[in-house]
Amino acid sequence: MSAFQERQNEPDLSLSAIFVQLLNGLAAASSLFLVAAGLSLIFGVTRIVNFAHGSLYMLGTYTAYSLVQWFGGGIFGFWGAVLLAGLSVGLFGALVERLLLRRLYHAPELLQLLATFALVLVIRDFALWAWGPEDLLGPRAPGLEGAVAILGRRVPEYDLFLIVLGPVVLGLLWLLLTRTRWGTLVRAATEDREMAGALGVNQAWLFTSVFALGSFLAGLGGAIQIPREPAVLTMDLSILSDVFVVVVVGGMGSIPGAFLAAVIIGVLKAMCIGIGNVSAFGMEFSFSKLTLVVEFIVMAVVLVIRPWGLFGRAQGVPRGTASVEPPLSLPSPGMLKALAAALLALTLLPLVSDRYTLVLLTDILVFALFAVSLHFIMGPAGMHSFGHAAYFGLGAYAAALLFKYALPMELALLLAPLAAGLGALVFGWFCVRLSGVYLAMLTLAFAQIAWSVVYQWDAFTGGSNGLVGVWPAQWLSGKTAFYYLALVLCAGGALILWRILYSPFGYALRAGRDSPLRADAIGIDVRRQQWLGFALAGLFAGVAGAVYAFSKGSISPDTLSIPRSVDGLVMVLMGGIQTLTGAVAGAAVFTWLQDTVARQTEFWRALLGGIILFLVLVFPQGIAGFLRERWEARAGKRQS
């Protein structure tokens, strides 16, 4: 002990301090594991990336809080409330699966994701309506209020209980999966869903029960948090990114993997908080600032070394469900005329519209280019990015910083996209090594890393406050002038991206998506092609970001946050991923909805979520996809 104490300087690096942080981390890992195990089970069987899983966790916390209030704080009251909260969330999950997701199993995979995201919005506002915006901290757990002295420090008994709970749940799940008939079916379906179906497994029932169990675990994971952490409205998305990381690091579908990953990440996070600032070689280094990103760094490293996570296995290509991508043919003269007419209308619009409409239209233009650039990699290149806001934000911040520190506005606006493109080139190099959900998660990780750097680097980026005073040059300061600038840059950018899809480069991208095997056999370096495509999309997202920064006059870390990335996904999917114009339609509708709905009601998220759910259920092929289908049906009738 004394040897340690002698070396101890500012930060508390004594053995006992490290040990206490270790216990703290293990306690946090247990809850993380419960939630992650649920997500992993659901993904393994249904192949749905459940964005609403964090919301189920949040519901668990709030429900447990209310039930404890209702039952009173006795031993039975508390533990009964925790268990009942888990069970009711499980029941809720089963209902969601039966009433909503079941209708979408034949829709493209990404649409299910969109539906679960709409649920996030609805549940968030439900919590706001039911429990209000204040943080709610539950009572201590009866029977475990005290603390135990370990190495001269006091460790809460409840933490020790949690540390035991994790392995116990792992053991129970293991028994359930290996010793019961139901568990065998779950494992069979995780391994090969089509074969399980062909062997007569009742998939509908299996999916519902897996969803119920997964939701129960999420709810329970939330419920056991009430003595440790307050229930807050933002906990849905914050736990979600943690849980995504855990599941991906452990390997999607692997329960032991999720446990190991939860422990690694829980402990690392606690350690980063515990160590605090360390000075080494004359440099001050803050470990606590690492807390926000450490898990994403772990994930990036793991994915680069083991692309399917620690315990995961390469996923077989699902049989029979492989969606055939629609042909991309050159636009007909009629469509080109329609496009020209639309551009002309946009050019003439300032003559008749008011200031408010112009600002909204500028926003729509910005997000249209953002969505088109995301569609460029998601559609034709087949890379699903969950972190596209990183490049939008990099463009916005680069523009603001260049403007604030050195350059005139025009030059900053021109150079900023290069910074975004460079960022995409660096991040993309890692991302194109993966595919499918893993690629999506790695893009998310990079976006989160970029966000946390911006969020914490107060001296340079303004930290959480962001940067203000990012105004356009004098000649562009009018709303009309700026609208024209946005029109030229954003519409121009979208047209360039579309045009590239018809070039040989675009064909090579599609070739890599359609059949990597064939592409390789005709000499295409698919990875390199995807990498360049990724960078190109990042560059144009950066253009949108730079225009956005000057249109608002200020920027905050929100520009590259996860919700912004999800906005992009919603736009692309709502418009329909199979058509080029879909992204524009989605961006216009989404931006307009967000703007108008937000004005009408306090519960705009729920309304927006409801609208998305409605659109998903009625137009599973997206808005533009629906219109095209109608158009083709009419054209077909006329021909015959």
Partner 1 sequence: MTVLSVSKLCKAYGGVQAVCEVSFSLASGELLALIGPNGAGKTTCFNLLNGQIAADSGSAEFEGASLIGRKPRQIWRMGVGRTFQITATFSSMSVRENVQTALLNFHGKLNSLVSLAAYQYRDEAMQLLTRVGIAAQADRPCAVLAYGDLKRVELAIALANRPRLLLMDEPTAGMAPTERVALMQLTAELARASGIAVLFTEHDMDVVFAHADRILVLNHGRLIAEGKPADVRANRKVQEVYLGSGAVYGGAHA
Residues that bind partner 1 (CB under 8 A): 324-330, 500, 502-508, 510-511, 513-515, 517-525
Q: Which is nearer to partner 1, 178 or 503 (CB)?
A: 503
Residue 382 Cβ, how far from partner 1 at the closest point, in Å? 10
Contact 121, 606 (CB under 8 A): yes
Alpha-carbon separation of residue 595 from 117, 358, 585 (angstroms): 19, 13, 15
C-alpha closest to that of 123 among 244, 239, 246: 239
Buried b (16+ CB within 10 A) or exposed e, 309-339: bbbbeeeeeeeeeeeeeeebeeeeeeeeeee
Structure tokens at 242: 């943690």
Question: Quick one: which of 235, 377, 504, 338 has its CA closest to 243?
Answer: 235
Closer CB to partner 1, 124 or 513, in the complex: 513
Q: Which is nearer to partner 1, 28 or 381 (CB)?
A: 381
Nearer to partner 1, 3 or 522 (CB): 522
Helices (H) and strands (E) in the chain, counts: 27, 6
Least Å distance, CB 516 to partner 1, is 9
Which residue type sits at 57?
Answer: Y
Q: Which residues, listed in sequence order, are joined to residue 152 by a DSSP beta bridge? A: none
**Residue 602 · residue 562 · CB < 8 Å:** no
| Non-local CB neighbours of 240 within 8 Å, separated by 6+ positions | 51, 53, 54
End-to-end CA separation in angstroms for the chain: 90
515 CB-near residues (< 8 Å, 6+ apart): none
Nearer to partner 1, 214 or 436 (CB): 436
Q: How far is the CB of 499 from partner 1 (least distance, A)?
A: 8
* CB of 39 or CB of 501, closer to partner 1: 501
Residue among 495, 485, 392, 519 at smallest CA distance from 447: 392
Least Å from the CB of residue 328 to partner 1: 6
CB of 505 to partner 1, least distance (A): 5
Among 559, 562, 604, smallest CA distance to 124 is for 604
8 Å CB contact between 441 and 386: yes
Shortest Å distance, C-beta 598 to partner 1: 38
Residue 529 Cβ vs partner 1, minimum distance, rounded to whole Å: 8
* Shortest Cβ 376–partner 1 spacing (Å): 12
Backbone angles phi, psi at 398, to 5 degrees: -60, -45
- For the record, the structure tokens of 105 come out as 């199993």
Question: In terms of CB distance, is 122 or 543 closer to partner 1?
Answer: 543
Distances (CA, A) of 167 to 84, 121, 186, 236, 266: 21, 33, 21, 24, 14
Min dist. Cβ of residue 129 to partner 1 (A): 45
Q: Which is nearer to partner 1, 205 or 631 (CB)?
A: 631
Q: How far is the CB of 89 from partner 1 (least distance, A)?
A: 41
Q: What count of residues does the chain have?
A: 640
Specify the residue, 270 or 543, whose C-beta has the smaller distance to partner 1.
543
Joined tokens for residue 91: 């029941």
**In this complex, which beta carbon is closest to partner 1, that of residue 522 or of residue 635?**
522
Q: Give residues with Cβ within 8 angstroms of 76, minimum separation 6.
A: none
